[in-house]
Amino acid sequence: MALFLFLCLCSCTAGNQSIESTPERPYLMVLGVAQDAGYPQAGYQDEWEAIKLGQRQIQYTVSLGLVDPQNHKRYLFEATPDFKEQLQMMDKVSESQQYPFDGIFLTHAHIGHYTGLIHLGREVMGTKDIPVYTMPKMKSFLEQSGPWSQLVSLGNIDLQTMQDSTQVQLSPSISVMPFTVPHRDEYSETVGFKIQIAEKSIVFIPDIDKWNKWDVDIREVVKTNDLILIDASFYQDGELKGRDMSLIPHPFTRESMELFKDLSATDKDKVYFIHANHTNPLLDINSPEHEEVLKAGFHIARQEQIFRF
């Protein structure tokens, strides 16, 4: 399975993911970069004050928008607590045939990644048969747990089952492939996505446990794809005061940079850190840690950033 996944993640050609192209070409838009609770987080008055004083900016929960202008379609990756703000961001730049989205892809059942589905219910938008792509356990969770089950029974959403390492073809030139990754799977499995747009391949892994728990070498994933958006929940150990961070085993940003240190400059340039906890100094563009990542040759995903292909 590890070999199969590695082969599926491979891309024939690496290139500069930020090259501008014609408006008809598909593109990805970063709709949020923060961990599940966003920034500022509930109850942290210093963060709210920093926003008020203009010292920091609001950062929405991690999400991507995939836009296919030629077919007038768009897709959402993660339905977050910031769904309505992120939908508004998409409405300014794109359109869909099945409003609000022609499909929604979910990675797993942690609060920052699916709870935005509530906006599709009869209390809000009252949508009809919006395709929601899930893995089997995630599908069962939504079908059997209220209030999500009501979205299914009322036909607000139409659950589409995905299978590990199997492509979902969205158009002749666009496909999405889920692949399972190790994570705290209390209610569902967890996946990352490989998004294929023509000859370009994008890997999105917003949540994963430590890299050594995965049976795939993340360095090979970087080498064989064109753009990598990966989990940067925490910058380093000790970041959560008074909590045992081994119980929340995300890759520390510094661990990832150390793991990637021998990659070529071209490969490092593919890496974008995303899904930063409110405690992570990467969210502060003026922090030494933010500068450290950039100087090392990597990137930090920015809200409203667009990647054209």
Name, in order, each residue with C-beta under 8 angstroms of 269's C-beta and a sequence gap of 6 or more: 16, 297, 298, 299
Q: What amino acid is encoded at 109 in this protein?
A: A
Alpha carbon of residue 119 to chain centroid = 19
The pLDDT tens digits for 4-63 are 444 454 443 333 333 344 468 999 999 999 999 999 999 999 999 999 999 999 999 999
The pLDDT tens digits for 160-193 are 999 999 999 999 999 999 999 999 999 999 999 9
Q: What is each CA distance from 59 to 4, 102, 167, 195, in whole angstroms?
A: 36, 25, 31, 24
Per-domain residue ranges for the chain? Answer: 16-308
**Whole-number pLDDT of residue 256:** 97
pLDDT over threshold 50, residue 146: yes
pLDDT over threshold 60, residue 107: yes
**Whole-number pLDDT of residue 4:** 45
**Whole-number pLDDT of residue 14:** 36
- Return mean pLDDT, the chain: 92
Nearest Cα neighbor of 162 from 187, 128, 138 is 138
Task: Confirm if 88 and 94 have CB atoms less than 8 A apart.
Answer: no
Give the strand pairing for 73-77 and 104-105.
parallel
**Whole-number pLDDT of residue 247:** 72
Q: What topology is assigned to 16-308 in CATH?
A: Metallo-beta-lactamase; Chain A (3.60.15)
Alpha carbon of residue 298 to chain centroid = 17
Backbone angles phi, psi at 199, to 5 degrees: -90, 0
Task: Confirm if 124 and 176 have CB atoms less than 8 A apart.
Answer: no
Cα–Cα–Cα angle for 272, 273, 274, nearest 5°? 115
**Whole-number pLDDT of residue 238:** 72
Give the strand pairing for 168-171 and 174-180.
antiparallel
Both tokens assigned to 72: 């007038």
In the three-class reduction of DSSP (H, G, I as helix; E, B as strand; rest coil), residue 246 is classed as helix
The pLDDT tens digits for 216-266 are 999 999 999 999 999 999 998 778 777 776 777 899 999 999 999 999 999
DSSP assignment string, 121-169:
STTTT--S-EEEEE-HHHHHHHHHSTTHHHHHHTTSEEEEE--TT--EE
pTM for the whole structure: 0.92
**Whole-number pLDDT of residue 237:** 77
**Whole-number pLDDT of residue 17:** 39
Both tokens assigned to 94: 């794109």
* 188 burial via Cβ count (<10 Å: 0-12, 13-18, 19+): buried
Mean pLDDT of the 124-150 span: 98
